[in-house]
Structure 1
């Protein structure tokens, strides 16, 4: 349910309306097994058939899907492909998208001790190779992605790290799309496993300081991480030692390591609270030390500079602050009331990330979703900001690349804007000087001055201004007939940062205006922005998106019926609810793996993410109010016998986050009782939440979406404007 990942001269609305009306003649086979209770808030048992009784087995083996359901999904796929015109009709889009990818592409090398490590895509490769070299010697391949992916319809790497002594290399791999990983250990350079892979793993792990052990997390039968284990290299998984057992089904487990490399961290969390535990990195003592009690509403992460923990937390500061506290001792937990406050962000700014090194600390805070950076002097007696890193653009996407070395004097930052391709910069923390290490310009050419990036504001139903990031070609003059693709997310406090997309130019060079609505439910305007878009206030997220559309219409960026909505996962809920409430505003909706059967999912405690999601959405099993609220904005329950625009929903058969039957039930119901459309479903039968794996295989997914946009807007095949 968490987390995803344009025009010719104007044409008349009448022409496009005629095209859409003719398209509605395509009607897939509709099963008669659909029924809902009169109050439309609880599906009856007749509608459960799309959820396979053996759904857990299907996550691991897609071939075990019952034939009745498979036939339905395949029939829907055929109908969708027919409406789109088949793959031949979008092959040119795939080719254009492929032209934005460099056939051979190396990451920026990272030095760690006597070795240099990096990743490389070779020509036609779907997956990267992991390489290293010693000094200036010839490189060796640690892992060949395509070799490991051979004969598997799906393949994804969760994590891949070398051991501290550089002798071993480990990787977690998912071969179903279900996010249930196998962990394999190699002798560095041999590419042959040295033992039987560890199974039923989450994607993360951490090496011990002596490189002889590693810590990893296992999933239970409901796909939830619930135990942490210590594995000794060369032994059987059955002999692994249990380190931590999570008894609460509504919480997650994550692993990490402090920059000092002295401690492995175990993080227990839901969407509102977390509790951290420390393990000495040598793993000689395997009894985790609790940093704090579980304190409802307390969120924090920690770094280590002996003898202190340096903590980013929300104790007393909802937008987070920087604290210092002594290292806890066994059975003596740290009390946040006694933490020393070092730094608090200014009003309306969110303290979003940090990095702690021996001689430098780096603080990232954000305003309207755009990062700002401070370099701090780690003086034990006085907190001192040494300098602020000034970026040349006010609308941008930035993040820090993780690097080894606690005593280093540099950081690496990735920077892009909607008009400027990503570049990697190395920054000298002592001087503030930076140098460019890599620019990822599309090989088919790009001129940044051809694109206009604007910050505007929509007006929501309660009068709240909602930030909008608008991108269009410089030769496009917005007018009431302009085609607009409007996107949003608005959940879990996740912010949509305004970064570069090479593929998006396929739409921009055809005249489409791309708009991102930073609706409440994200943290673009701080933690309060998130709080105002969840639980009892969740309706504000939908009001914000609708308000953004109305503002664009009112300001003549476009007009009603010339907007396509696009959102994925919880963003699919956002766009799905918006179109159910105000269908007349939109030309169509594209919903990727959308979380649209909200109430039914939150009532099913066996599903992987349901108990952990209750703090975010509410628990309708225990609360009548939650049941009412969730039914109020669950798109599947909102379907009525009225006209809706074209809706295309996608699903992944092995998706453990948004199960395939959610979008299937939504589209099924629309096809059964609603007018307009068409209502289309496409299910990836060998993929999960992220869609097909591989840098080229995933292009067909994007092309399918773009083909729908091209058809609905009647866009020209040839670009109208220069890249």
Structure 2
């Protein structure tokens, strides 16, 4: 087996030998604390010695897990066998066209298409999507972009944004062929099929045309991969002349943009997790430049959107919609006249539209030409509510209407809509209901409660029956008495005899919620008798802003102890044998995996940590590394704050590995990941192997052509998921299907 330097050491008796990286002491000193890091040299991505070491890690994991290949293949075939490979999305209308994506059996990537829309004068009929059949071309169908043709001969393919001009003539698309999340923007003339000479390199996610189609807006990242510039390119001019619309120099702030719903404004969003700033640019007064709604100096976390609201005199009045946390930890919705923002904050008059509630988290709000659309979260569940614009913010304001669904644990979210549409598109899913697409007809006097119209439920093949599975809401009790919600998933035929295997999954950072959602791949675990617990731990957003605040910065350890409490609940639930529990998480959830491995290694038979943020303190101490400065609002700033440094060092996985018997561990990463660098798991596994007192193998699987989400292409991604799940199932001795389970 290829080795880098130093000697190889046995990972377990009579098995393959793990690669041992040489030790090159690197001293880190902050706030009087000295930490010696022997593996920092692995950060040199250009080093041939580092490349050889990573290849040796792959060779080692392949040898250690070779016996899992039949199980991996079986799970892959189960995923494939349940997926309708030739399929299409529900067409979405934008202006005069219906846009949709086709997938074709044997093809890795989607094919973007469109057909013309009709305008009969019947609003609901005109917004009813055409019946598109898998594999059947519609009359007049145009192919905008065939991802398979674009990806041919490339190691990676991902689309970072698309846009179409208002007249439907020009189509812009941004492509990444490395996994580094830097995209090349091209523009196609859909009338001729020819590409324009305008090519813009190294842009970030998101593109948009100006309403007149003469300009395209895009975002650029700095050397640390932080989006910091919004630029404007005038079609037909040299890229070198592109105008910087705005540049954000604060390294702790993220920059993005979008068009207002009515496309009268460019809306720039600048912010971190604790406060923000919105700047507006009117397209009909472009040279006037940007105006600020509320300065970041007020330390308010908000989103703002300008729109036109019918005034008491029947005239359209310019209005600003605010979703904000001013005096409202869970946020609320207000509206205000633009002139108010010229006054001191304390003198501004905002009219309440959706008031604050300790039980309801307001996630965001937007407008159509007739309604306000609000996304809220209550009892962990994301919901959609609509209110008429007529009377908004006055005593005559109408009541909110919420589409009703019949499951306890589900996710419903607005999937995009056109400003003039009489319907909004809603995506719906639950743990065992495949994703559905609804159009919700907005309420009118004749239809006061609106109407849900099911447009599609994604087909699941292989004899799938939802009633074969069960999802329940349970609660674990943390050490401090906090009740932690759990989603518990299992096969309906499983006996509650304390003999089954279990898997606990968690994330718990950035106010990201682990919402109910259908997963074909997950069925392969449940069919093998594994009980899966999704732990909605503090640091996520499931129970509102306080739930997030209680799991960040100097409260971060609550995230880890909540996860362990979820594990203890599963161990004593009567479903599983306590010695047959595994854990899984990715990115910040990978940091979680590293933390619980150090805190309670005896509770887990195996741990899978995907793109794991296990060297978090080292990363955040270096503001030159990708995205590091943006992390200060999540974890604290250990560079300037000794208390934060000490607290982080007490839990970050890399610094807290100790001489205990660690379980089987798989660190899964990508060479080109720009969010969590490959070096973090590479260093982590070296120290784990050197310190563990046990014999369980510790492996690292690295995708040499992938990014933060792994490799591209749906079949490749299915195989990656099969690898993860086979590692778990094999580690738990749960490789056989339950009687009657599996593909039919």
CA distance in 2, matches of 1:604, 1:188: 46
Match of 1:287 among 286, 289, 303: 289
Q: 1:311 to 1:511 in 2, by over 3 A?
A: same
Deviations 1:200-250 (A, max 9, x none): 211112210101101111122222222111101122210111111111111
Deviations 1:240-288 (A, max 9, x none): 1111111111111111121121111111111211101111235733611
1:313 maps onto 2:313 in alignment? no
Q: 1:193 to 1:36 in 2, by over 3 A?
A: same
Deviations 1:59-94 (A, max 9, x none): xxxxxx311111111111111111221784322222
Residue in 2 that maps onto 1:542: 560
TM-score where L is the length of structure 1: 0.92
CA shift at 1:191, angstroms?
4.4
Residue in 1 that maps onto 2:732: 713
1:692 maps onto 2:711 in alignment? yes
Q: How many residues align?
A: 692
Residue in 1 that maps onto 2:663: 645
1:141 maps onto 2:155 in alignment? no
CA shift at 1:445, angstroms?
2.9
Residue in 1 that maps onto 2:39: 47
1:114 maps onto 2:120 in alignment? no
Residue in 1 that maps onto 2:165: 163
CA distance in 2, matches of 1:537, 1:92: 42
Residue in 2 that maps onto 1:241: 243
Q: Residue 521 of structure 2 contacts residue 722 of structure 2 at CA under 8 Å; is this kept in 1? A: no
Q: 1:124 to 1:190 in 2, by over 3 A?
A: farther
CA distance in 2, matches of 1:81, 1:614: 37
1:350 maps onto 2:361 in alignment? yes
Residue in 2 that maps onto 1:384: 398
Deviations 1:492-548 (A, max 9, x none): 011110111111001111111111000000110100000000111111111100111
Match of 1:464 among 482, 499, 520: 482
Partner SS for 1:203: coil
Partner SS for 1:272: coil
CA shift at 1:125, angstroms?
1.5
Q: Residue 473 of structure 1 contacts residue 721 of structure 1 at CA under 8 Å; is this kept in 2? A: no
The worse-fitting range, judged by mean Cα deviation, of 498-507 and 182-191 is 182-191
Residue in 1 that maps onto 2:623: 605
1:394 maps onto 2:408 in alignment? yes
CA distance in 2, matches of 1:130, 1:607: 35
Residue in 2 that maps onto 1:92: 74
- Structure 1 unaligned regions, length at least 5: 1-20, 56-64
1:416 maps onto 2:429 in alignment? yes
CA distance in 1, matches of 2:539, 2:234: 43
Match of 1:556 among 574, 578, 596: 574
Alignment of 1:422-441 (within 5 A): 422-430=435-443, 431=447, 432-441=450-459
CA shift at 1:717, angstroms?
4.3
Partner SS for 2:333: strand
Residue in 2 that maps onto 1:29: 19
CA shift at 1:23, angstroms?
7.1
CA shift at 1:372, angstroms?
2.5
Q: 1:597 to 1:46 in 2, by over 3 A?
A: same
Q: Residue 383 of structure 2 contacts residue 411 of structure 2 at CA under 8 Å; is this kept in 1? A: no
Partner SS for 1:668: helix
Q: Residue 141 of structure 1 contacts residue 189 of structure 1 at CA under 8 Å; is this kept in 2? A: no
Residue in 1 that maps onto 2:382: 371
The worse-fitting range, judged by mean Cα deviation, of 86-95 and 123-132 is 86-95
CA distance in 2, matches of 1:264, 1:86: 55
CA shift at 1:621, angstroms?
1.2
Partner SS for 1:456: strand
Residue in 1 that maps onto 2:210: 208
CA distance in 1, matches of 2:647, 2:191: 55
Residue in 1 that maps onto 2:612: 594
Residue in 1 that maps onto 2:123: none
CA distance in 1, matches of 2:708, 2:344: 38
Q: 1:451 to 1:42 in 2, by over 3 A?
A: farther
Match of 2:503 among 450, 464, 485: 485
1:79 maps onto 2:90 in alignment? no
Q: Residue 591 of structure 1 contacts residue 648 of structure 1 at CA under 8 Å; is this kept in 2? A: yes
Match of 2:112 among 124, 130, 133: 130
RMSD of Structure 2 on Structure 1 (CA): 2.3
CA shift at 1:631, angstroms?
0.8
The worse-fitting range, judged by mean Cα deviation, of 289-298 and 157-166 is 289-298
Partner SS for 1:654: coil
CA distance in 1, matches of 2:296, 2:365: 23
Deviations 1:341-368 (A, max 9, x none): 2212543211123331121122221123
Deviations 1:154-174 (A, max 9, x none): 110011121111010001111
Q: Residue 304 of structure 1 contacts residue 356 of structure 1 at CA under 8 Å; is this kept in 2? A: no
Alignment of 1:242-257 (within 5 A): 242-257=244-259
Q: Which has the higher contact order (CA 8 A, sep 6+)?
A: 1
CA distance in 1, matches of 2:178, 2:609: 22
CA distance in 2, matches of 1:115, 1:282: 25
CA distance in 2, matches of 1:528, 1:143: 44
Partner SS for 2:195: coil
Partner SS for 1:264: strand
CA distance in 1, matches of 2:519, 2:589: 18
Deviations 1:98-132 (A, max 9, x none): 12222211111122333221111122121111111
Q: Residue 82 of structure 2 contacts residue 464 of structure 2 at CA under 8 Å; is this kept in 1? A: no
Partner SS for 1:260: coil
Q: Residue 598 of structure 1 contacts residue 631 of structure 1 at CA under 8 Å; is this kept in 2? A: no
CA distance in 2, matches of 1:36, 1:436: 60
Residue in 1 that maps onto 2:741: 722
Q: 1:368 to 1:721 in 2, by over 3 A?
A: farther
Q: 1:110 to 1:335 in 2, by over 3 A?
A: farther
Match of 1:266 among 268, 281, 284: 268
CA shift at 1:317, angstroms?
0.4
TM-score where L is the length of structure 2: 0.89
CA distance in 2, matches of 1:34, 1:715: 41
The worse-fitting range, judged by mean Cα deviation, of 366-375 and 659-668 is 366-375
